């Protein structure tokens, strides 16, 4: 059993886009219900976040952009970007409390009372300094990393969302205190269009960005091969004092927006490996955030299983949430994955 906090407020429900938009807070409510049905909160502590100040938010976002979001929040119409992230009345407050939950997770880890803190309401890795993107208004991943630098000299971000963590990469591009690892689907015309292996950071941050672009059709076997061959040796070499895990559910084979083929079994293997690395190198300090995931049932099951693993309460009650099978990559896809692994190893001197 590990001392684990679950950051939650019912205000999270307010961050849910209208009409037929794929981002709905149903994912979070389904996850909480699955945990409650298994009495998880007898072992996991519920903690309510409080809104952070604008001053804290300005560590990663410009004052002009924050004012723009507040204006659109009052207006309640139009978009915060080029058409992916609609404005609605109250979106500023809805986004702020979600980001505040991730900051609260960091505060709990820093305080030492908890070694694991979970905010499934976070994981907004597309937001940039001056604009929203990909359903993300404010970037809590980069914010938590920047705040964490006050207490930890080496932080690792491991992002397994199906889309590239472009906002996080951009905001921390020259930061040598944060190792940024993103595993994501990559092919022409797929959002956000970045995340190839040659994007490695700039200035002091050169070498601290590691992108693992995966082809459509990547199953559990190919995904875990890339993870074992790249992520594990990189983390072992870096030895972070804190790990931030973004657990977007859109790498699942049933996700409507991404064409990766991870099953719940693959997700559990990855999360268990990250959990082990946190205890081996980071004194157990692990923050789990949410992210994407547009098949709500699959995402809720992924998050519930992952939380149980991190909290040390995974048992037969959670086994019932698994997909009935693991997934395999085709021979063609495996060849592409191996080629990508070889390129990454050469760039980052992992041979």
Predicted confidence (pLDDT) per residue in 213-268, tens digit:
999 999 999 999 999 999 999 999 999 999 999 999 999 999 999 999 999 999 99
Per-residue pLDDT, 324:
97
Active site residue 126: yes
Residues 33, 35, 40, 45: what is their CA dihedral angle, to the nearest 10 degrees? -70
Lowest mean pLDDT among 16-25, 134-143, 173-182, 192-201: 16-25
Instruction: Tell whether the model's pLDDT for residue 1 goes beyond 60.
Output: no
Global pTM reads 0.98
Per-residue pLDDT, 247:
98
Task: Report the C-alpha gap between 69 and 85 in whole angstroms.
Answer: 11
Task: Report the C-alpha gap between 266 and 286 in whole angstroms.
Answer: 19
Q: Which of 2, 126, 163, 184 is catalytic?
A: 126
- Average pLDDT, integer, range 68-80: 96
Show Cβ contacts of residue 345 under 8 Å, excluding neighbours closer than 6 positions. 229, 230, 351
Q: Residues 88-138: pLDDT tens digits?
A: 999 999 999 999 999 999 999 999 999 999 999 999 999 999 999 999 999
Instruction: Tell whether the model's pLDDT for residue 63 goes beyond 90.
Output: yes
Eight-class DSSP state of 245: E
Per-residue pLDDT, 351:
78
- Average pLDDT, integer, range 53-67: 98
Q: Domain holding 235: CATH number? A: 3.40.800.20
| Domain ranges, residue 28 | 4-347
Number of domains within the chain: 1
Show Cβ contacts of residue 205 under 8 Å, excluding neighbours closer than 6 positions. 172, 173, 174, 175, 176
Instruction: Tell whether the model's pLDDT for residue 188 goes beyond 90.
Output: no
Mean pLDDT across the chain, nearest whole number?
97
Per-residue pLDDT, 349:
95
Q: Residues 158-184: pLDDT tens digits?
A: 999 999 999 999 999 999 999 999 999
Eight-class DSSP state of 231: I
Contact 4, 117 (CB under 8 A): yes
Per-residue pLDDT, 224:
98
- Average pLDDT, integer, range 319-333: 98
Eight-class DSSP state of 53: P
Q: pLDDT-derived band of residue 151, with 50, 70 and 90 as boundaries?
A: very high
């Amino acid at each position: 059993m590990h001392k684990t906090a679950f950051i939650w407020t019912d205000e999270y429900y307010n961050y849910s886009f209208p009409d037929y938009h794929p981002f709905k807070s149903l994912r979070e409510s389904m996850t909480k219900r699955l945990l409650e049905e298994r009495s998880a909160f007898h072992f996991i502590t519920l903690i309510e976040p409080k809104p952070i100040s604008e001053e804290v938010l300005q560590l990663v976002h410009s004052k002009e952009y924050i004012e723009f979001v507040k204006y659109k929040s009052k207006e309640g119409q139009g978009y915060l970007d080029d058409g992916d992230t609609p404005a609605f009345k109250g979106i500023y407050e809805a986004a702020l409390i979600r980001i505040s939950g991730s900051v609260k997770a960091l505060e709990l880890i820093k305080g030492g009372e908890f070694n694991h803190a979970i905010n499934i309401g976070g994981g907004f890795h597309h937001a940039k300094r001056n604009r929203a993107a990909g359903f993300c208004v404010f970037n809590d991943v980069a914010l938590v990393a920047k705040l964490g630098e006050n207490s930890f000299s080496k932080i690792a971000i491991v992002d397994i969302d199906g889309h590239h963590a472009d906002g996080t990469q951009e905001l921390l591009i020259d930061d040598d205190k944060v190792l940024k690892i993103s595993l994501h689907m990559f092919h022409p015309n797929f959002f956000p269009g970045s995340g190839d292996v040659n994007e490695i950071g700039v200035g002091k941050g050169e070498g601290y960005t590691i992108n693992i672009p995966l082809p459509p059709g990547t199953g559990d076997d190919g995904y875990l091969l890339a993870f074992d061959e790249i992520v594990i040796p990189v983390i072992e070499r870096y030895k972070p004092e804190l790990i931030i895990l973004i657990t977007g559910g859109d790498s699942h084979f049933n996700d409507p927006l991404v064409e990766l083929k991870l099953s719940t079994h693959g997700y559990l293997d990855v999360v268990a490996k990250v959990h082990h690395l946190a205890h081996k190198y980071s004194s157990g300090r692990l923050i789990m955030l949410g992210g994407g995931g547009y098949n709500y049932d699959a995402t809720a099951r992924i998050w519930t299983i992952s939380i149980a693993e991190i909290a040390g309460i995974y048992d037969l009650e959670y086994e019932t949430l698994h997909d009935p099978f693991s997934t395999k990559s085709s021979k063609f896809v495996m060849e592409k994955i191996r080629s990508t692994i070889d390129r990454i190893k050469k760039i980052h001197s992992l041979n």
